Amino acid sequence: MYLEHFGLKFKPFNLVPDPRFVYLSPYHKKALTMLEYGLMSQAGFTVVTGEIGAGKTTLIRTLLQNLDDEYVIGLINNTSESFGELMEWVLDAFEIESSATDNSGRYRDYVNYVVEQHAKGRKIVLIVDEAQNLSVKALEELRLLSNVNIDADIFMQLVLTGQPELIEKLNLPELEQFAQRIGVEYHLKALSYPETQKYIEHRMQIAGAERKIFSNEACAAIFCYSEGVPRRINNLCDFALVYAFADDLKEVNVNTVIDMIKDKRSSTIIKIKESQNPDVKRVRSWLLELYNIHLV
């Protein structure tokens, strides 16, 4: 809709994770490094957590693009119990054919597959995204799956990503044995204001922008309303481009962002509350003091 107006080749702020647009802030770079280190060091379990929309899934997709053929990857995205049992998810993730009708038979087929791949010199990695949705029982089953590892030989590595609730769950007494096997862990934080501005400009450049489209003040306002969470940034920036296009503006300015937020606040679907984040409060004060801009 607005691509030609701003000279873009494709949408810069899709909500669907896209490794083409990955921006490695210091936090995201460290998280990706920890994921890579977890695999290279053959850590039994690797856990990366972060708030909703922090960019965990995008990092996983970036990681997968960087891996060579020695890795066999199984990826589980849907972790709701309504989608079936864990052993069925695992077989499906690795595309393991099984005629077994019970979990013991499925487990046997899984073990045979893992041992076979290990004998070929390949590394088996099971990645579970949105792992905070897993029940305690399912997490314990995952730990038991790793029992295929014998002595110093790591047959299968496990990578979990999830929201902060995953940390709380893994601290439960009944999951103590699971927690003891975590070799690498990292919590992904939101972006700062400077990183938010760099993130916005990075995605615009990847999309084909040849000039600055979001003003500094607009980026500051986006940070205040998004709190530096990438998915929220994407949502707000996409709408801001639509609003600027509708007003026939070639730049997204702070007034465009404020008008958009006013409309969103009146919506019965999307509610934006004033942040209590101290960094956000500092940027709000800076806008008011330097530019006399009062955010709604």
pLDDT tens figures, 14-63? 988 889 999 999 999 999 999 999 999 988 899 999 999 999 999 999 99
All structural domains of the chain, each given as residue ranges with its CATH number in brackets, are 3-11+191-291 (1.10.8.60), 26-188 (3.40.50.300)
The pLDDT tens digits for 97-122 are 999 988 889 999 999 999 999 899 99
Contact 28, 68 (CB under 8 A): no
pLDDT of 128: 96
Question: Does 269 score more than 70 pLDDT?
Answer: no
pLDDT band at 293 (very low <50, low <70, confident <90, very high): confident
Contact 70, 217 (CB under 8 A): no
The values of phi and psi at residue 162, to 5°, are -175, 175
pLDDT of 248: 97
Q: What is the pTM of this model?
A: 0.90
**Could you give the CA distance from residue 6 to residue 285 in angstroms, rounded to a whole number?**
31
Question: Does 268 score more than 60 pLDDT?
Answer: no
The pLDDT tens digits for 125-134 are 999 999 999 9
